[in-house]
Amino acid sequence: MAEELLEYATGRAVIGDTGYDAERIIQAIRRAGRDAIDSCVLPAGTIVKRKNSNTQLTLSNPWPGPSGTADLTFHRDQHNYCVQFEMPVSR
């Protein structure tokens, strides 16, 4: 089984907004869409919806807590999204 890949980031979140601005480039540059986010403030199931730049991410849910510095824990999405299909082959 693959080792769990966790990363932590500190950044700025604004109440009611889905944007998150990481304080350091390295904290956002490794993120990708669908990465899971853990936070005591965000609803369960919140993910990185989009990586806008090397420091700015869009979250799948708006920030419900107060505006200010927020610490988030990211988990890499390791789902296999391959599609299997069958197709008859004629000779």
Closest Cα partner for 42 from 74, 88, 90?
A: 74
Give residues with Cβ within 8 angstroms of 65, minimum separation 6: 13, 15, 41
Write out the two tokens for 36.
Answer: 């899971």
Per residue in 3-35, pLDDT (tens digit) is 455 677 788 888 889 888 887 655 555 666 788
Q: Contact, 9 vs 25, CB < 8 A? A: no
Spans of all domains in the chain: 6-75
The answer to whether the beta carbons of residues 22 and 35 sit under 8 Å apart is: no
pLDDT level of residue 76 (50, 70, 90 thresholds): confident
Residue 40 predicted with pLDDT over 90: no
Checking if the pLDDT of 61 tops 90, the result is: yes
Note the pTM of the prediction, 2 decimals: 0.69
